[in-house]
Structure 1
Amino acid sequence: MALNKSIKYFLAVAKHGNIKRASDELFISQPSLTSAIKKLEVEMGAPLFNRLSKGVELTPYGNKFRKFAQEQQEQYFALKHQFNDMQQRQFGKVKIGTGEVWWEGFVRQSVADYQASNPASSFHLEFGNNLSLLHHLVQGDIDLFIGHEVLDLSESCRVVFQPLFQDYEAIYVSKSHPLATGISEPSTLHRYPLLRVTPNHPRHQSVLANGLPHDTQFDERITYDVDSVMASMDMLHMTQAIMPYSHKASDWLEKHDIVIAYLDKEKVGNIGIYTKQGENKSSVEALVQLLTSNVNSK
């Protein structure tokens, strides 16, 4: 692409501030690079560089063009990545999103079963929370994801939710925590710091009809936001924090000396499989069947 080559040349000169160093990096001659930059300036109708005795510097026009050039280059590489991804999907690559608890529970076995039946297939596994995975599904970055049902979805999210089972919210603590033996009065929980595993980020709230709600209970409370379940376990052992998480993770977490202090059966969630509306890929359908089968067999 001619534009992409011009942008590549421009950015190299802008980075080095020197035609010779830029030409060495690009493996072209200095006269060829100088000619290309002059041609670009004529095309843009403005000087992009000031010529100095020891090199070049960006003009105000050049600074503005650099921002445009960087954005164009990023979009170009992103598009090439998407094309490569599309080609791989034609040969059976499946891109899955999941939470770590569901991976431990049944997704890992489903992936193993699928791989056994399709040994030449490729996988992309992405771990995250509901909103991040939903955002990536809508953007086409993944084919499906396993997670909690989101009730306040924007109408622009053309997705399908297939329920699998329900869970309750449990409050987890380390075995050395004062509440490790369990509690009967939930008001006790507010005395301790709160640890939120893979919390939602504002950058993903576009999938919600009304955006993220503001919860005032976190304003004056010590709160730890951690994007990793494994790191969250470490934090529970290092502090007296409490961690809300699915009760379905109890067996897995107990192996790491993390136990349930309180089970809130009024907070019920639906866990299922999200796919894009109107997309019927045989590889995705086969994986959905395996996920459903493995859940039902437990």
Structure 2
Amino acid sequence: MALNKSIKYFLAVAKHGNIKRASDELYISQPSLTAAIKKLESEMGAPLFNRLSKGVELTAYGLKFREFAQEQQEHYFALKHQFNDMQQRQFGKVKIGTGEVWWEGFVKRSVMDYQAMHPASSFHLEFGNNLSLLHHLIQGDIDLFIGHEVSDLSDSCRVAFQPLFQDFEALYVSKNHPLASGITNNGVISDYPILRVTPNHPRHQSVLLNGLPHDELLDERIIYDVDSVMASIDMLHITQAVMPYSHRAQEWLTRHDLVAIHLDDEKIGNIGIYTKQGEAKRNVDELIELLKSNADIAYTNVNSL
């Protein structure tokens, strides 16, 4: 399958605004390209270009056709990418989703172990929050992802969850923060901005039965939303924000000069592996066993701050 030549030729002329330059890019003669454009205009029943003394410009019809042509081109390249991805998966490529803290904690070690066992294997790594990774899993963009168990999933989400361990929510600040030396009253925490790491986005809430919940307690609070853990660490050093995050990340975050000031042992999360139901693959199953083993090693008896 090839992209329709008429669309390819049209887009080249529209990009350059010049038949000669477009023909040079396409490696065809100028008369052949001119004839192809005239044929396309005849088929569409409308002029797509205005002919000028030094080139061409799109008409109103041409502008509309360009939208269609660009969409067709995007679909074509997306389909080629999907075909290539399917072929690579047949040869053992594994596509993994994870959060940055789990990557540092045990996923990286698992990928290294798998690579040592299968030197010819390849990986695609997707970083994001739970809902975005869940969306990618359902769409078939990844084979599995490691993250918190999501409650209130839509019935259309045909996924399986294998629990690995639990975590609590801790609060982190910069070592220079006024609260870094400790807090005697939890109420003072609300006096500071809150930093949310890789927060959920409304565009992914379709995977939830009742959509994203609204926290009224945050309505009067300054909030920083950051889609990167490393950038979040920088923001904590720049501002006086507090960051809710897994207590499992304490050792790693300490190396970045952050301090855990509070542990909420009532906010318990289950971390595990999500896969699509009914899609067993030997290479994925093998990686899952490595993930389980390395998670056990990384977090044995690490239950509190």
- Shorter-chain TM-score bucket reads over 0.9
1:283 equivalenced with 2:300 (yes/no): no
Q: CA deviation at 1:219?
A: 3.4
2: distance between equivalents of 1:26 and 1:290? Answer: 50
> Which amino acid letter does the alignment assign opposite residue 49 of structure 2?
F
> Which amino acid letter does the alignment assign opposite residue 69 of structure 2?
A
- Counting only pairs closer than 5 Å after superposition, residues 111-260 of structure 1 correspond to structure 2 as 111-260=111-260
Q: CA deviation at 1:3?
A: 5.1
2:146 partner SS = strand
Q: CA deviation at 1:125?
A: 1.1
Deviation digits for residues 256-281 of structure 1, max 9, x if unmatched?
11111110111111100001111111
The equivalent residue for 1:16 is: 16
- Asked if the contact 1:184/1:262 (under 8 Å) is kept, the reply is no
- Asked if the contact 2:154/2:207 (under 8 Å) is kept, the reply is yes
2: distance between equivalents of 1:111 and 1:284? Answer: 11
Q: CA deviation at 1:283?
A: 0.7
2: distance between equivalents of 1:10 and 1:236? Answer: 51
Q: CA deviation at 1:10?
A: 0.7
2: distance between equivalents of 1:275 and 1:56? Answer: 52
The equivalent residue for 1:72 is: 72
The equivalent residue for 2:263 is: 263
2: distance between equivalents of 1:153 and 1:35? Answer: 56
Tell me the TM-score normalised to structure 2 length: 0.93
> Which amino acid letter does the alignment assign opposite residue 107 of structure 1?
V
Deviation digits for residues 235-259 of structure 1, max 9, x if unmatched?
1111111000000001111111111
1:200 partner SS = coil
> Which amino acid letter does the alignment assign opposite residue 213 of structure 1?
P
Q: CA deviation at 1:107?
A: 0.7
1: distance between equivalents of 2:71 and 2:165? Answer: 44
Tell me the TM-score normalised to structure 1 length: 0.95
Q: CA deviation at 1:152?
A: 2.0
- Asked if the contact 2:3/2:73 (under 8 Å) is kept, the reply is no
The equivalent residue for 1:25 is: 25
Deviation digits for residues 108-152 of structure 1, max 9, x if unmatched?
111111111111100111111111111111111111000001112
2: distance between equivalents of 1:272 and 1:204? Answer: 20
Q: CA deviation at 1:184?
A: 4.3
Gapped regions of structure 1 (runs ≥ 5): none
The equivalent residue for 2:303 is: none
Comparing 119-128 with 209-218, which one deviates more in the overlay? 209-218
2: distance between equivalents of 1:2 and 1:32? Answer: 19
Instruction: Give percent identity, aligned residues only.
Output: 80
CA gap 1:2/1:40 in 2 versus in 1, 3 angstroms: farther
2:4 partner SS = helix
Deviation digits for residues 211-233 of structure 1, max 9, x if unmatched?
22333334332211111111111
> Which amino acid letter does the alignment assign opposite residue 237 of structure 1?
H
2: distance between equivalents of 1:182 and 1:142? Answer: 42
2: distance between equivalents of 1:269 and 1:119? Answer: 35
1: distance between equivalents of 2:216 and 2:23? Answer: 57
Between the two proteins, the alignment pairs up a number of residues equal to 298
- Counting only pairs closer than 5 Å after superposition, residues 66-105 of structure 1 correspond to structure 2 as 66-105=66-105
2: distance between equivalents of 1:106 and 1:227? Answer: 21
Comparing 148-157 with 114-123, which one deviates more in the overlay? 148-157
Deviation digits for residues 2-26 of structure 1, max 9, x if unmatched?
6532211111111222211211222
2: distance between equivalents of 1:271 and 1:184? Answer: 30
2:230 partner SS = helix
- Asked if the contact 1:169/1:264 (under 8 Å) is kept, the reply is yes
1:160 partner SS = strand
Q: CA deviation at 1:29?
A: 1.1
1: distance between equivalents of 2:115 and 2:3? Answer: 42
2: distance between equivalents of 1:188 and 1:133? Answer: 34
